Structure 1
Amino acid sequence: MNLINLFDLSLKGRKDKVAIEFNSKTFTFGDIDCRSNQMANFLVSKELEVGDRICVYLENCVEMIDLFLAAAKTGVIFIPINILYKEREVSHIIADAEPKLVISDGELPGGFDSIKLTDLIAQVSSFTTDFVPVLTNGDTPAALVYTSGTTGLSKGAILTHNNFISNGINLVTCWKITEEDRFLLSLPLFHVHALANGINCWLISGCTMKLLTRFEHQKAENEFMTFQPSLFFGVPTMYIRLLDLPSDSAYKIGQFMRLFVCGSAPLSSQTMTDFKEKFGHDILERYGMTETLMNISNPYIGERRPGTIGFALPGISVKIMLPDGTPAGIDEEGEVYIKGPNVCAGYWKREQATIDSFVDGYFKTGDMGISSVDGYITLKGRKSDLIISGGFNIYPREIEEFLLEQPGIVEVAVIGIPHETRGEMPVAYIVANENYDAKYIEEICKKTFASFKIPRDFILVDHLPRTALGKIQKHLLLKS
């Protein structure tokens, strides 16, 4: 089976049902099928074949979905590019992926040749809406998604049809997503959170989706109130913004919502607690990566434990390993290893990086975690985020979680800075409001933490540098 075989449950089986709302326009699943057929015929006219690549540098739009489906129908590898990327990052991806075609909305950074969206729309409209999908299978690469590259040049994770299929079926099943749901999606389609989770869940379940160009917190209340979704996927920064909504609006939203899901960056226990109090919902936190899609999730039925990511999804094996290669015990910290049909086929043109990323069939995530006696997994931060001060290990997330519980602190990131004698020292970068009391924060940290864990400086900033999906870019703080 390939993706199109699975998506036909909706593209053909629900062809007359409203599939998507975007910019005040609605499209049925049949419309989406015909549009993507036209796009597939366009790709064939450009002599693209199975295994060829297309790069797409677009904001959220229906045409981006058309392109993704057309790529799946033709066996072409779909490569979404983060629209926040600049010339250096775009140049690297294009040089590495060697696409036969690039689609962009306006000029592409670096001056690369591309087909502009307006020209694409005009050209595609002339093609027939009939198309017979090219024969592919589950092992055929469907997408090449580049990692954020915070520690060096980004690598392209090869995601197969089976990766997308297993991911979509797991989420639709475990989160009880059905065609009755109304799904509000404001995440960027260039990221797997929206592409592999959002689009998959929508097309497999046959629910009605409202696609937004982007999340705008000033418009969030109106979007929720007018569309009245039952399902929302977000990142921590979105939920922090939603907490600014008036209490009566939050209550009304909570009445028609069924499920809030959070991922792509850690959600603080405090945010989860505050959200439950205001909206009446426990946010379902889950854990995934570009290379593995979704791995672990809190349960839909059962306790969604604050600060944890829950249990392994069906068909996925998770183990926590110590540096010496032996399994960690209960509540013993180690690196999270993942194995399953969700794990990518490797890195594009990076044979050694692929070899180095796997041990006995398990993918080494680089994330540190612990498992409780009843199986809930808690992430403790990135392995590379570890601060070693005077021989002592310091995990930034422990300090960050505590600081976020304190009055006046809205966001925080703890990093290690070089120190002449101790190697590194922790420093906290803080986004605060009018309730922030610097002296109180210093004193409460002294009462709470061992001396080596106490941040040596608390630096107030207007904002924390983040990726488009809300992940804090700690390497940029060192330059600030």
Structure 2
Amino acid sequence: MNLIDFLKERVKQFGNKIFLRQGEVSITYKEFGILTDQMAAALQTLGLKKGEHVAVLFPNSLDTLLAYFSIIKAGGTVIPINPVYTPREMAFILANSEAKILLTAAPFREKIQEIKPQTPLLSQIIFREETDPSIFSVLKKWASSPSALKPVDLAAEDKAIIFYTSGTLGQPKGVILTHGNFSFSGPNIAQAYGLKENDVTIAVLPLVHVFAVASPVFGSLSSGGTVVIMERFQAESVLQAIEYYGITWFPGVPTMFNYLYHAYEKMATNIKTLRMGLSGGASLSVELLKNWEKRFGAFILEVYGLTESTGLVTANPVHGLRKPGSIGLTVSHVQTRLLDKEGQEVKQGEVGELIFKGPNATKGYWKIPQLTAETIRDGWVYTGDLAKQDEDGYFYIVGRKKELIITGGYNVYPREIEEVLYTHPAIYEAAVVGIPDEVKGEVPKAFITLHPGQSISEKEVIEFCKQYLAHYKIPKQVEIRKELPKSSTGKILHRELKGAKIEADK
């Protein structure tokens, strides 16, 4: 099914229910269908043809989703651009994606003018000025009514969105997701999370990432729920929003749950409507999960997915046994395997690379055929994530292939060390990477931040680890920082810590 038909079905089914909210503005399913029809007609008037790319540069807002769906309805492919990117990063994505049109806002005018000479294929830039109430008010100049939209023949395998993600190639890589990917994943996500029409969620994760688009947006769209859009994450504001809008489930990354946990201790907000937190994007420490559930009186559903999977591969069952520290079971209609270095399936309890296949799988990377061939083999997507599986079929991520530390012939998985560090009462955040060692090849190094008012020495951290870890897993060094580098979604960036050197006196 293509997304035009998919959205029509939801508009017909949920009509006057509220789909999107931001501040005091609400848009029903029916209104969203009408607005995006008229905007799509405007894009066709501007010359957009089937398959052409349109870039979208907005902070999290109603404009972002109005733009995405109008581009798709017009037959185009969406190219999200992160508003926190530098001009250099924006120029690369605009040029690499071959975007013909850019929809953006006035605050980005200076950056866009700076990089325009580097984007020769970008023929039209449409700004929402400060005086314009929305991007709809700008585009409607080119289409008098929704009926002006011309039908477009789109198939399930046609491109819908190309998400640019950070990679090891030195530049972002464009992951192609199709109409079929989303029309499958939306209902599958809604089913896996147990979403209902009366559910209300928050989209505070950046809408330039698949997690935000797949889970809160398409999950809600598939179940008739409501999405409250927030421009950026700020723990106190999110807690206030939970009370004000009656939020029932919150999707976020582990650092967000950490911030919420500590902020709630100091606030008197009423969060009785919240039944579930949804954690993905990185590993959530078991210690934080248990503490958060106790303090909030809501459970956390740990899930696993990546851009290449349109957001979901495994999930703990919403109505069943949830295992702390596990990413759960394989979701419906998706297949998974764990393979060793030789491509053979590993035994139960052994570590292997997690691969998957199914209707959620990407068709490849934009203009990188070699990487596509390396990543997708016989329909299986090789994730690069290392995992193990227990006797009940639950998966546990132990690290990334590229983050595996081999020290003196032993395999050390950073996640195991981080779990131990998170149990120390003084430690707020932790990340472990491998650093070069002349004798052992690599050794673990821990980077930590501390809770306010706490202090601890490197020696004390190492002594603490000795109680719980084999000798070869104990960090060789511990570096205490004020903060750890994070992505725009809040994930700790291990690769930025990887450059640390062993001190000369170690």
Indicate the residue corresponding to 1:223 in structure 2. 241
Give CA-to-partner distance per residue, 1:377-397, whole Å, 9 cap, x none.
000011000112222222111
Alpha-carbon offset, residue 290 of structure 1: 0.7
Indicate the residue corresponding to 1:88 in structure 2. 88
What secondary structure, in the 3-state scheme, does the structure 2 residue paired with 1:369 have?
Answer: strand
Cα RMSD (Å): 1.9
Indicate the residue corresponding to 2:469 in structure 1. 449
Indicate the residue corresponding to 1:295 in structure 2. 313
Kindly report structure 1 stretches of 4+ aligned residues shifted beyond 6 Å.
248-251
**Which AA in structure 2 matches 1:71?**
I
CA distance in 2, matches of 1:467, 1:250: 30
CA distance in 2, matches of 1:173, 1:462: 40
Does the 8 A contact of 1:316 with 1:340 survive in 2?
yes
Indicate the residue corresponding to 1:440 in structure 2. 460
Indicate the residue corresponding to 2:191 in structure 1. 173
CA distance in 1, matches of 2:202, 2:214: 15
Does the 8 A contact of 1:12 with 1:33 survive in 2?
no
**Which AA in structure 2 matches 1:161?**
H
Aligned residue runs from structure 1 range 1-400, under 5 A? 1-105=1-105, 106-107=108-109, 108=111, 110-112=114-116, 114-118=125-129, 120-126=135-141, 127=143, 128-130=145-147, 131-149=149-167, 152-246=170-264, 252-253=270-271, 255-293=272-310, 294-400=312-418
Does the 8 A contact of 1:282 with 1:304 survive in 2?
no
CA distance in 2, matches of 1:172, 1:181: 11
CA distance in 2, matches of 1:192, 1:249: 31
Alpha-carbon offset, residue 413 of structure 1: 0.8
Give CA-to-partner distance per residue, 1:36-71, whole Å, 9 cap, x none.
112101211221111100111211111211111112
Match of 1:458 among 473, 478, 482: 478
Does the 8 A contact of 1:75 with 1:140 survive in 2?
no
CA distance in 2, matches of 1:111, 1:458: 41
Describe the shift of the 1:248–1:456 C-alpha distance in structure 2 as closer, same or farther (beyond 3 A).
closer
Could you state the TM-score of these two structures normalised by the residue count of structure 1? 0.95
Which stretch of the first structure deviates more once superposed, 414-423 or 400-409? Answer: 414-423
Describe the shift of the 1:89–1:479 C-alpha distance in structure 2 as closer, same or farther (beyond 3 A).
farther
What secondary structure, in the 3-state scheme, does the structure 2 residue paired with 1:12 have?
Answer: helix
Give CA-to-partner distance per residue, 1:102-137, whole Å, 9 cap, x none.
222323365237322327554313322223541211
CA distance in 2, matches of 1:93, 1:70: 20
Does the 8 A contact of 2:88 with 2:115 survive in 1?
no
| Match status 1:431 vs 2:438 | no
CA distance in 1, matches of 2:282, 2:361: 19
Indicate the residue corresponding to 1:472 in structure 2. 492
Is there any run of 5+ residues in structure 1 with no aligned partner, and where?
A: none
What secondary structure, in the 3-state scheme, does the structure 2 residue paired with 1:68 have?
Answer: helix
CA distance in 1, matches of 2:415, 2:269: 31
Give CA-to-partner distance per residue, 1:208-232, whole Å, 9 cap, x none.
2211112211312211111111122
What secondary structure, in the 3-state scheme, does the structure 2 residue paired with 1:244 have?
Answer: helix
CA distance in 1, matches of 2:267, 2:184: 37
State how many pairs are aligned. Answer: 479
Give CA-to-partner distance per residue, 1:436-469, whole Å, 9 cap, x none.
4324322121232222221111111111111111
Alpha-carbon offset, residue 336 of structure 1: 0.2
CA distance in 1, matches of 2:449, 2:268: 24
What secondary structure, in the 3-state scheme, does the structure 2 residue paired with 1:165 have?
Answer: helix
What secondary structure, in the 3-state scheme, does the structure 1 residue paired with 2:146 have?
Answer: coil
CA distance in 2, matches of 1:172, 1:7: 15
Does the 8 A contact of 2:176 with 2:366 survive in 1?
yes
**Which AA in structure 1 matches 2:250?**
F
CA distance in 2, matches of 1:115, 1:94: 14
CA distance in 1, matches of 2:151, 2:454: 59
Alpha-carbon offset, residue 14 of structure 1: 2.7
Is there any run of 5+ residues in structure 2 with no aligned partner, and where?
A: 117-121, 501-506
Does the 8 A contact of 2:239 with 2:264 survive in 1?
no
CA distance in 2, matches of 1:185, 1:216: 12
Describe the shift of the 1:374–1:399 C-alpha distance in structure 2 as closer, same or farther (beyond 3 A).
same
Alpha-carbon offset, residue 171 of structure 1: 1.1
CA distance in 2, matches of 1:100, 1:212: 28
CA distance in 1, matches of 2:342, 2:21: 52
Alpha-carbon offset, residue 332 of structure 1: 0.3
CA distance in 1, matches of 2:374, 2:100: 30
Indicate the residue corresponding to 1:411 in structure 2. 429
CA distance in 2, matches of 1:32, 1:264: 29
Q: Percent identity?
A: 34
Does the 8 A contact of 2:314 with 2:329 survive in 1?
yes
